[in-house]
């Protein structure tokens, strides 16, 4: 799994922030350069999923269950069988001092979990997308991305893992609160640097090839009150046939990214709808809201670890060889407890993400009035990405970071207060339509 090693160390530090980051990319409507005339087209019907889409949806649910159980089982086995303690003992012999013991343990733990998870990751990340015609990635590129992700995770983990364990050693009663405080600037830092330093490691980011479209997008950004934004076209066709666009970054790193696959499949109006949606994320401060929301869950998760870890160690310390929480061999147990908490609170996290995405949809419609293009854009996601437009309740609660496409198409068809002379909710953000000189 890409960045698997990174997630292993960042989960106990700021797991919910990465959950938000995972929801930032969006298959979403966006906005146009000027206020478009009200649409006269008929409402866009919700497409009926193809038999292949149904199979993809149902098999995906099965794989999600397997992956979730594996995510619990793997750290549990490593911890409760005593393997973690044996890796710690080996790390002490090699690392000698406290810091390098942590580093060696993390390297060993990461390599073990990566190798054990490799068959499942290979099937989910490479075999299955090819079986459904959703991937064009060569095996060499997949291996390259996995290696880069693992190495990056090892480096970041080695640099950060000492923080919670030092706090555990120095302040056993309040380590959870201090870890939370330290994690906040780290979260913001990663939000700043990921678009610039991390994402380009996996794909080439360049300027828009269609300069006329780029001009329209920049004009639209001006109308949304966004100055200095960057629009990038990323070469994702080497990896996938799926369609996507997303907004990322904060402050000076803010950018709108369009996959080259979506540029090839969407009309100009549909692409403007996509970018307008993404501008809504920025204008409505969704990244900052997401960080704040994630920080609250992070605080609760760390406190839960603090309250439960002592009981686990007292109950299983003799069997596992781990009797203190500041022992690096407790890492699998920390990951397990935090993972269980994240799973239990996943419906709340997903509901919050869906709310942000819905408001970005509203922003895109209000700034463009391109209702028909909005509906047809979502229809193409159903057709090209095998997305299931009307998933079941459990799927929506635990897996849907975005509103189901069927609901989004219905919203595209029905939301047009301007046709009734009513103001939109976000008109106060819109600037005059006269675009700046480029």
Residue 195, number of CB atoms within 10 A of its CB? 21
Those residues with Cβ within 8 angstroms of residue 24's Cβ, 6 or more apart along the chain or in another chain: 246, 247, 248, 281, 287, 290
Q: 242, 278, 366, 407: which is the annotated catalytic residue?
A: 278
For residues 344 and 156, what is the distance between their CA atoms, to the nearest angstrom?
A: 27
List 100's β-bridge partners, or say none. Answer: none
- Catalytic residue status for 410: no
Q: How does DSSP assign 79-114, residue by residue? A: HHTSHHHHHHHHHHHHH-SHHHHHHHHHHHHHHHHH
State whether the Cα torsion 394-397-401-407 is positive or negative: positive
Residue with tokens 């998933």: 391
For residues 200 and 182, what is the distance between their CA atoms, to the nearest angstrom?
A: 27
Those residues with Cβ within 8 angstroms of residue 348's Cβ, 6 or more apart along the chain or in another chain: 297
Q: Sort 178 into a burial class: Cβ within 10 Å, 0-12 / 13-18 / 19+.
A: middle
Residue with tokens 């700021």: 14
For residues 368 and 278, what is the distance between their CA atoms, to the nearest angstrom?
A: 13
The catalytic residues are: 278
């Amino acid at each position: 799994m890409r960045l698997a090693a990174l997630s292993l160390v960042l989960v106990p530090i700021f797991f919910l922030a990465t959950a938000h980051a995972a929801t930032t990319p969006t298959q979403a409507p966006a906005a146009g350069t000027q206020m478009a005339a009200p649409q006269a087209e008929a409402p866009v019907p919700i497409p009926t999923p193809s038999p292949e889409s149904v199979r993809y949806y149902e098999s995906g649910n099965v794989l999600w269950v397997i992956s979730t159980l594996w995510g619990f089982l793997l750290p549990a086995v490593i911890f409760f069988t005593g393997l973690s303690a044996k890796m710690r003992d080996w790390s002490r012999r090699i690392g000698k001092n406290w810091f390098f013991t942590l580093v060696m343990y993390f390297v060993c733990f990461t390599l073990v979990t990566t190798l054990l998870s490799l068959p499942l990751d290979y099937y989910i990340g490479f075999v299955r997308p090819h079986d459904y015609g959703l991937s064009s990635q060569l095996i060499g590129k997949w291996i390259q991305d996995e290696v880069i992700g693992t190495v990056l995770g090892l480096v970041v983990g080695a640099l950060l893992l000492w923080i919670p364990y030092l706090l555990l050693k120095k302040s056993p009663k309040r380590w959870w609160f201090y870890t939370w405080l330290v994690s906040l600037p780290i979260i913001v830092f990663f939000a700043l640097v990921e678009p610039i330093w991390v994402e380009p490691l996996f794909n080439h980011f360049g300027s828009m090839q269609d300069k006329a479209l780029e001009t329209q997008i920049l004009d639209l950004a001006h109308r949304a009150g966004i100055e200095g934004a960057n629009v990038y076209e990323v070469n994702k066709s080497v990896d996938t046939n799926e369609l996507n666009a997303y907004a990322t970054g904060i402050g000076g790193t803010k950018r709108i990214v369009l996959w080259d696959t979506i540029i090839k499949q969407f009309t100009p109006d549909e692409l403007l709808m996509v970018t307008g949606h993404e501008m809504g994320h920025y204008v409505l401060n969704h990244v900052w809201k997401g960080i704040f929301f994630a920080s609250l869950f992070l605080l609760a998760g760390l406190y839960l670890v603090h309250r439960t870890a002592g009981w686990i160690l007292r109950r299983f310390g003799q069997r596992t060889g781990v009797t203190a929480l500041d022992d690096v061999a407790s890492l699998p147990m920390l990951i397990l407890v935090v993972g269980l908490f994240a799973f239990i609170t996943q419906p709340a996290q997903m509901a919050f993400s869906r709310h942000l995405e819905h408001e970005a949809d509203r922003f895109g419609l209000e700034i463009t009035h391109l209702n028909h293009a909005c509906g047809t854009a979502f229809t193409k996601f159903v057709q090209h990405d095998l997305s299931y437009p009307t998933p079941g309740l459990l799927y929506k609660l635990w897996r849907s970071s975005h509103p189901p496409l069927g609901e989004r198409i219905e919203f595209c068809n029905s939301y047009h207060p301007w046709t009734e002379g009513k103001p939109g909710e976000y008109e106060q953000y819109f600037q005059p339509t006269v675009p700046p000189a480029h």
